[in-house]
Amino acid sequence: MTMKIVFDRNKCTGAYSCVQEEPEKWKPASDGKVDLDGSVQKKPGIFECAITQEELEKARIAAAVCPASAIKVVEE
Ligand code: SF4
């Protein structure tokens, strides 16, 4: 099974809840939004990053605390 974070940067409002939960992955950017470390842009504003089993729990927490629903954890 592959697990990944899908980040819709278009929705990001810069609340930085994700940064507080997982600063290793979520980096404040100069435009007031965040960048997902190690991600690749798949469509305009849509970034994806594969994660390990160990990273899954923190990724789920980041997704849960994002007030803009910009973070999704996908298992496929
Ligand atoms: S919690 Fe959501 S809205 Fe806030 S900075 Fe992170 S991705 Fe953006």
CATH number at residue 51: 3.30.70.20
Residue 65: is its pLDDT beyond 90? yes
Question: How many whole angstroms separate alpha carbon 37 and alpha carbon 59?
Answer: 12
Determine what percent of the chain is predicted with pLDDT higher than 90.
Answer: 96
Q: Report the C-alpha gap between 33 and 52 in whole angstroms.
A: 24
Question: CB within 6 Å of ligand 1 — which residues?
Answer: 12-18, 26, 33-34, 66, 68, 70-71
Mean pLDDT of 19-46: 97
Residue 24: name the closest of 68, 62, 53, 66 by CA: 62
2 C-alpha to ligand 1 centroid (Å): 23
Domain enclosing residue 40, as ranges: 3-75
Q: Which atom of ligand 1 is nearest the CA belonging to 34? A: 5
Cα 56 from Cα 3, distance rounded (Å): 8
Q: Using an 8 Å Cβ cutoff, are 26 and 36 in contact?
A: yes
What's the total number of domains in the chain? 1
State the pLDDT confidence band at 76, using cuts at 50, 70 and 90. confident
